[in-house]
Chains A and B, each alone.
Chain A
Amino acid sequence: MIRYAKSISGLLLSALALYAAADGPWFKDVTEAAGIRHRHTKREFDNPYADIMQGYTALGAAVAVADFDGDGYDDLFLTDSGVEGKNRLYRNEGDFTFRDVSSRAGIADSNDERNASADALWFDYDNDGRVDLFVVRFGASQLFRNLGDGRFRDVTHEAGLDRRRNAITAVAFDYDRDSDLDLFVGSYFQDVDVFSPDTPRFFPESFETAENGGGVAVYRNNGHGRFDDVSREAGFAISGWTLDLGHADADNDGDEDLYVAADFGADSFFVNNGDGTFTNRTEKAIGIDTKKGMNIDWGDYDNDGLLDAFVTNITDEYMREGNFLWHNNGDLTFTDVARETETDRTGWGWGGKFFDYDNDGWLDLFTVNGWVSAGEGNYVVDIFAMITTPGVDFADARNWPPMGTKSLSGYQRSRLFRNLDGTGFRDEAARHGVDSIADGRGIGVADFDNDGRLDLIVANADAEPELYRNEAPAAGHWIAFSLEGTTSNRTAVGAQARLTVNGETLLRFVDGGNSFAGQSSRRLHFGLGEATTVDNVEVRWPLGTRERFGPLKGDRIHKLVEGSGKAKRKDE
């Protein structure tokens, strides 16, 4: 359970003192000044169910962060979903401005009559040290190989990834510990042509136990540029309405486990058996829920050495599901402490991401919320009229009322939950200027200007993104690590780093794209409070070897290479 009795550490006291010193907002919306000129547009459907589908596909706004050109600054990829909409790659110029390099990169044109962008994932599938791009789509997804000169090449077919899956999320990690990144793809709709369906029965059959969705596909990387669908062999015979996937080593046994957040039914939790298979441990681990899981992110919010999980659900006047904050009990069971920590009611939740925005050593939490902010009518009344109609077949799209211009759980504010020494959170979104009412979907966290303060970017549905620069005048000290595997996968996905500062041991890990419609920086960032150095950091590399680096100076980024034993400055 949460360590309610935990004494307040020196780290916390110093952080509190720092925090009290700066009253103004710490985040500033710099979207326009930074040169981001993107607007997400929803897909307009042209089929007999267009009026109905309109409301259910207000998705597709995603942001993926990675340093695609290896210059030490994290770059941005933003999606569009309109049939003629362009995805955009923004190169970070290093001074908090970004340059649109999409055309040269050749990765702008992922939307057409048969496909709509839904998410994006950077991962180094060929282990060449350059992150490649997987564009997740309703329809068939695409894999672009990073050629290293600012251009990309579509390798979807040769990689064996061109099957239509109506995907909405993806993560990549080395589940079988063979030193390359495997791909996990979550699909919302089942395998139907959602743009021109040949049946009206492709909607969720139930609001709470639907199993006619797209499920999860596991693609094993064969190390030679090709992926094999091993979903069934790996133990993923599920068919829910997947919205997000999140991996982490939940039991600290050295391999990566997987949480599946699903709409219209139960989330699932899969434990990695270490032999290329997973066991579905849902019932024991988290129980069978009936909620609308949207997002999964992992982080050790209470600094107890175990990774906890945050899942958004729907909470509104008409549906009080509440989010999950799954406290990791250490025995592959979890206890939901969202209510106790006051992170349960954020609205119709979408992306949620742990990060330490004030550098106090405790992971804070940012969430974006709201489904469709449109006209004055409330669509929920229409939906509930259908729900309460006896014998209605929910799977038949013709039974769903058209949404028209009505709103549904719209105009809901984003939340920035400040971590209160691991025992609870307090919403400070309004204070810090990040309480937007846009229909946020995906979150990207990165230190875009390498100044030691974590910035935010939010991808909004049918709207412009919001780029927030962290200008905290009194944030604590920090240290960050860029990890490179040598025997492990090169981008070190799955690596864990632990350091002790002022009596607290902090755990961060390199994730392969966790959180809904968002991918954050791969760099590991630790807030240090008033500490300016750390004695050492212990890295557990993805293949299991442990290595200590240190002592290390704070307020800088270090590069840690597996097996080198010595930290370098990031630009060395």
Chain B
Amino acid sequence: MIGLALTAVLCLAAAAAAGPGAEAFESGGKLLAAGDAEGALAAMEEALQAEPDSLRFGSEYRQAAIQVEAYDRSIAFFEKLVDVHPSANTHLNHGFAYVDKIPAAGAITQIILANTALNHFAKAIESEEAWRTYFTRGASLLFWPKIFERAPLAVADLEEAMRLQGKDPVRSYHVRTYISLGDGYWKTNQIEKARTTWQQGLDAFPDEERLGKRLALEGNPLAAYIEEALDPNTRVDTDLREIWEAEESE
């Protein structure tokens, strides 16, 4: 069912695309729906080679790769793509390709993948200082255990993302910053700042259950809830739909 829904979305997305990669991308969606994973990924790669900076193509390609567990292929593809076209978006997708593999990896490989992803997210920031680059690196840093002392770095990135989103009109994905920055404050033992941030988020996004849940919990139950949310064995949603849809609507 998930696969069918995904391919349907891919077809719709392709139908709306108009760049030089649109045709190949649309073909990829159809092949995926027909169960031809190899053909689908090849077509999507062709689309990305035509439009390497497409956040949308990159994101959808990775979701397709997740669907068929083609993690190494996705990583290898972006490795080459970023060589040819280094941009914030290719670096982001390259990093996310590593993140996508984490739940399927052993505990030690998870660390290696996460660390490699971080390096690519840093390059994305070097390419473009934007909400999506700061948020991505900051959120990624949050997943590291406290012992590695990366939570303060996460907070710094997420505060910058918060500052940047303040300049823009409110978008649905901005809620992520409230959640993650609050979690960052919590991980750095700034409990009051965490609660304030979550509350600000809930004020801006009253229907957001993840914020309501955090505010409703304290102590060990809150710790368990956040640790569960940051469990590397649980697949992180790396679908960038909200972002590229917003960008395309502008």
CB distance from B133 to the nearest CB of A (A): 22
Beta-carbon contact of A290 and B107 below 8 Å = yes
B84 interface residue (CB < 8 Å to A): no
Chain A residues with CB under 8 Å of B147's CB are: 317-318, 378, 380-381
Chain B residues with CB under 8 Å of A314's CB are: 107
Q: Find the B residue at minimum CB distance from A315.
A: B107
Inter-chain CA distance A356–B232, complex, in Å, is 35
CB distance from B48 to the nearest CB of A (A): 26
Say which residue of B111, B231, B232 sits within 8 Å of A387 (CB atoms). Answer: B111
Inter-chain CA distance A381–B232, complex, in Å, is 18
Inter-chain CA distance A141–B6, complex, in Å, is 59
Contact residues of B between 26 and 59, Cβ < 8 Å to A: none
B12 interface residue (CB < 8 Å to A): no
Beta-carbon contact of A291 and B106 below 8 Å = yes
CB distance from A400 to the nearest CB of B (A): 14
Inter-chain CA distance A290–B111, complex, in Å, is 13
A37 interface residue (CB < 8 Å to B): no
Q: Find the A residue at minimum CB distance from B114.
A: A388
CB distance from A292 to the nearest CB of B (A): 8
Beta-carbon contact of A388 and B106 below 8 Å = no
Chain A residues with CB under 8 Å of B3's CB are: none
B145 interface residue (CB < 8 Å to A): yes
Inter-chain CA distance A272–B147, complex, in Å, is 45
Chain A residues with CB under 8 Å of B109's CB are: 207-208, 290
Known contacts A387-B112, A388-B112, A388-B115: A319-B148 contact under CB 8 Å: no
Contact residues of B between 85 and 128, Cβ < 8 Å to A: 105-109, 111-112, 115
Inter-chain CA distance A319–B105, complex, in Å, is 12
CB distance from A166 to the nearest CB of B (A): 23
Chain B residues with CB under 8 Å of A319's CB are: 107-108
Majority DSSP secondary structure for residues of B touching A = helix
Number of chain A residues whose Cβ lies closer than 8 Å to a Cβ of chain B? 17
CB distance from B73 to the nearest CB of A (A): 20
A157 interface residue (CB < 8 Å to B): no
Contact residues of B between 144 and 162, Cβ < 8 Å to A: 145-148
A321 interface residue (CB < 8 Å to B): yes
Q: Find the B residue at minimum CB distance from A394.
A: B108
Beta-carbon contact of B232 and A320 below 8 Å = yes
Say which residue of A291, A378, A381, A388 sits within 8 Å of B107 (CB atoms). Answer: A291
Chain A residues with CB under 8 Å of B115's CB are: 388
Chain B residues with CB under 8 Å of A384's CB are: 111, 148
Inter-chain CA distance A320–B112, complex, in Å, is 15
CB distance from A41 to the nearest CB of B (A): 29
B233 interface residue (CB < 8 Å to A): yes
Beta-carbon contact of B106 and A318 below 8 Å = no
Chain A residues with CB under 8 Å of B233's CB are: 320
Chain B residues with CB under 8 Å of A320's CB are: 107, 231-233
CB distance from A348 to the nearest CB of B (A): 12
Beta-carbon contact of B108 and A207 below 8 Å = yes
Chain A residues with CB under 8 Å of B145's CB are: 317-318
Beta-carbon contact of A321 and B148 below 8 Å = no
Inter-chain CA distance A304–B198, complex, in Å, is 48
Contact residues of B between 226 and 242, Cβ < 8 Å to A: 231-233
Inter-chain CA distance A320–B228, complex, in Å, is 11
CB distance from A56 to the nearest CB of B (A): 15
Inter-chain CA distance A380–B231, complex, in Å, is 18
Chain B residues with CB under 8 Å of A388's CB are: 111-112, 115
Beta-carbon contact of A290 and B106 below 8 Å = yes
Given contacts A290-B109, A387-B111, 20 further A-B contacts (CB under 8 A): A207-B106, A207-B109, A208-B107, A208-B109, A290-B105, A291-B106, A317-B146, A317-B147, A318-B111, A318-B147, A318-B148, A319-B107, A319-B108, A320-B107, A320-B232, A320-B233, A378-B147, A381-B147, A384-B111, A388-B115
Listed from nearest, the 6 A-B pairs whose CB atoms lie closest are: A290-B106, A207-B108, A208-B106, A317-B145, A319-B107, A388-B115
27 A-B interface contacts by CB (under 8 A): A207-B108, A207-B109, A208-B106, A208-B108, A289-B106, A290-B105, A290-B106, A290-B108, A291-B107, A314-B107, A317-B145, A318-B147, A318-B148, A319-B107, A320-B107, A320-B231, A320-B232, A320-B233, A321-B107, A380-B147, A381-B147, A381-B148, A384-B111, A387-B111, A387-B112, A388-B111, A388-B115
- B residues near A, CB below 8 A? 105-109, 111-112, 115, 145-148, 231-233
